[in-house]
Amino acid sequence: MPTSKVLLNVWVNRFQKPLNKQVVTIKNLSFVLLMVLSFIWGGCDNEDTSGDSYADIIMQVSETTVWESVWGSNVPMEYMLVKEPSDTEWQRLVMGSIEGFEYVQGHAYELKVRKTTLANPPQDGMNCTYRLIEILSDTQPDTPVTPEEWPEEAKFKLKMVQLTPFMYLDTPLAAPFDLLTFRILDHRDEYTPFGNPEFLQYYDSIVMSSPVMPDTYPILQRKKGDSGTSESYTSQWNSYFFEKSDFLISLKGYKDGEVKYEYTIEQIMRERDFLGIDWERGSIAVANPQTHTIYCVLDTRYEFLLTNTQQRNNTPFVEIRVAAASHLIDAEKLQRQGAGLRWLLTKYLEKTAETAASFKTLPEDASIVETYGNDTTRVALLHIEGDDFHEECYYLIAEPK
């Protein structure tokens, strides 16, 4: 980049002519100096004298917070859930981390903030800071009509009625990759497995959602068409979840595009050794292991195939694959497999630098791409070359340490 001295000479030479043609006036010189200084200041917008760099970004803030224990402590802290432009998932941010911004529970925000990346971050702190520039939007939570305005028979409830743990563990607490069964009940806590309960007549749709997941799931849906009104309704449904911490689930009843009634529960989640796996107490399939399709009705980006826990070299292990997407060509399928498995791994584990020698259950023809782990589990992302009998693919092998 040209220096300020060179730029000044260029501008002065442009205006300087023989005295009999043009005289450089004080006004001209003031203009020149102003332009040069503006250029210098403008070129430094993204860096200051400390070496820190910054950028003004748009940040989304969820209406929901999470409480999680700090590493090495049992004391929980409250975190906001935020998304920067490059994020595909909600990220945790300690409450109060945005200078000049006061979070109000239940509100969703779109903020313009200045993100400063620190050249020398503190050893036990974040590598960036945030300062509020402007609140672009502040969305208050949907406010259903008050109970006094809505008849009792129009109200409904959501209840998780059955937990089917992976590995057939006897536990009351759900973990990622456990199957949960839900029901919609009336205001008397009564379940109607057949026919339509009375509350349905008050709504055009009833939708399941969660503030930490990208999709919704329709429980009741009425559509008007040329041939009349069609209706779909389910009173009981199943889902797995990819979350390892507690989250909210809501059922919202809509009429004429407005939320008329809402019922919310908190789903308690506890990760075991890895996902829903308990290496010590879990069952092991000695023959004919089954493959489970793991899906989430509120996050449909990926589905996974998880085998029952097997044993090789006296060591238990599981295989995890990404379910095939039939509409994709082979190269796209392979790319999706790698992306989905990395998404799952980085959500639960830290990347490691282990080699094949650390593992006891890898197949002979496997090639390790990356390894991940935590205190109890090591996982290898494997690549298998295609041949006459097998398709090229990526999959995971997880085993205890």
Q: Each residue's pLDDT tens digit in the chain (401 positions)?
A: 444 444 444 444 444 444 344 444 444 544 444 444 444 444 445 666 678 899 999 999 998 887 776 655 555 677 899 999 988 888 889 888 999 999 988 889 999 999 999 988 887 678 899 999 999 999 887 655 554 578 899 999 999 999 999 888 889 899 999 999 999 999 999 999 998 999 999 999 999 999 999 999 999 998 876 777 788 999 999 999 999 889 999 999 998 888 999 999 999 999 899 999 999 999 998 888 999 999 999 999 999 999 999 999 999 999 999 998 777 777 888 999 999 999 999 999 999 999 999 999 998 878 999 999 999 999 999 998 877 777 889 999 999 99
Is the same domain home to 258 and 329? no
User: Whose CA is closest to 155, among 126, 179, 189?
Assistant: 189
- How many folded domains does the chain comprise? 4
Do 103 and 170 reside in the same domain of the chain?
Answer: no
Q: What per-residue confidence (pLDDT) applies to 251?
A: 96
CATH of the domain at 192: 2.60.40
In sign, the C-alpha dihedral spanning 209, 214, 218, 219 is: negative
- Residue 289 inside a domain? The answer is no
Q: Is residue 278 part of a domain?
A: no
Give residues with Cβ within 8 angstroms of 343, minimum separation 6.
301, 302
In a domain, 282, yes or no: no
Q: Which of 139, 163, 178 is the last residue of a domain?
A: 139
**How much is the pLDDT for 40?**
43
Closest CA to 277 of 246, 244, 313, 245: 244
Domain boundary (240, 267, 294) is at 267
Q: What is the pLDDT of residue 310?
A: 95
Q: Which helix (H) or strand (E) holds 85?
A: none
Same-domain pairing of 219 and 238: yes
Q: Is residue 211 domain-shared with residue 175, that is, in the same domain?
A: yes
* 117 domain-assigned: yes
Q: Looking at the structure, do residues 202 and 242 belong to the same domain, yes or no?
A: yes
HEC string of 256-303? CCEEEEEEEEEECECCCCECCECCCCCCCCCCCCCEEEECCCCCCCCC
Specify whether 233 is located in the same domain as 260. Answer: yes
Look up residue 150 and give its two tokens.
């809505």
286 in a domain, yes or no? no
The first and second tokens of residue 68, run together, are: 């999680």
Residue 272, in any domain of the structure:
no
Q: Which of 212, 245, 267 is the last residue of a domain?
A: 267
> Do 108 and 163 reside in the same domain of the chain?
no
Q: What share of the chain is helix, strand, coil (3-state, %, to 5)?
A: 15, 40, 45
Torsion angle, CA of 240/245/246/251, rounded to 10 degrees? -40
- Reduced to 3 states (helix: H, G, I; strand: E, B; else coil), residue 86 is coil
* Claim to verify: residue 186 and residue 253 sit in the same structural domain: yes
CA angle, corner 197, sides to 144 and 248, nearest 5?
45
Judge contact between 260 and 253, C-beta under 8 A: yes
Q: Do residue 37 and residue 66 come from a single domain?
A: no
On whether both 135 and 170 belong to a single domain, the answer is: no
Residue pointed to by tokens 């109970």:
147
The residue range of the domain holding 262 is 152-267
In a domain, 183, yes or no: yes
In a domain? residue 290: no
| Distance between CA atoms of residues 192 and 315, nearest Å | 46
Q: Are residues 314 and 355 in the same domain?
A: yes
Statement to judge: residues 65 and 172 lie in one domain: no
